[in-house]
């Protein structure tokens, strides 16, 4: 059995990857424009967390793969993702157990936008069998930001 350099790198830096043949690869694609700069979002990370005594499904779509070691450390210390913040450009979606969008966060190059209940955002997710599949987008472009993403990703257990 051969161990690849990528597998050694992933193990050394705590990057979560499925075992070969265990799961299909996460599918993520989309774009984010924030403060006039465009980002290609081709990576996804999804997990469940608790906030306000409720379970939420969190999905990050990012420009680069996210290092999950800080996410794992936050869950180990606090039982939630409270201390985890992705520094790569990303769209963060938080869905309730029915797949309804609760909160949206956009981040890139120090700019941060957090939205709840914005009528200019369309989002939907199907949450089933430990996976999330869906989409989110701005209906009309905003002068400061616009995005459109799709995802089909298995939830990790941090």
Convert the pLDDT of each residue in 44-63 to its tens digit: 999 999 988 899 999 999 99
Q: Could you tell me which residues come within 8 angstroms of residue 138 by beta carbon, excluding any fewer than 6 positions away?
A: 120, 121, 122, 145, 146, 147, 148
Q: How confident is the model at residue 24 (pLDDT cuts 50, 70, 90)?
A: low
The CB density around residue 12, as the number of other CB atoms within 10 Å, is 8
Q: How confident is the model at residue 13 (pLDDT cuts 50, 70, 90)?
A: very low
What pLDDT was estimated at residue 65?
92
């Amino acid at each position: 059995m051969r161990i690849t350099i990528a597998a050694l790198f992933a193990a050394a830096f705590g990057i979560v990857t499925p075992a070969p043949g265990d799961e299909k690869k996460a599918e993520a694609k989309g774009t984010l424009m924030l403060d006039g700069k465009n980002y290609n979002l081709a990576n996804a990370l999804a997990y469940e967390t608790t906030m306000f005594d409720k379970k939420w499904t969190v999905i990050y779509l990012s420009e680069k793969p996210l290092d999950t070691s800080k996410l794992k450390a936050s869950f180990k210390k606090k039982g939630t993702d409270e201390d985890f913040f992705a520094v790569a450009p990303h769209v963060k979606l938080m869905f309730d157990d029915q797949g309804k969008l609760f909160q949206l966060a956009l981040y890139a190059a120090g700019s941060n936008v957090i939205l709840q209940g914005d009528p200019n955002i369309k989002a939907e997710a199907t949450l089933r069998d430990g996976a999330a599949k869906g989409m989110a987008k701005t209906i009309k472009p905003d002068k400061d930001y616009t995005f459109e993403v799709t995802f089909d990703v298995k939830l990790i257990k941090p």
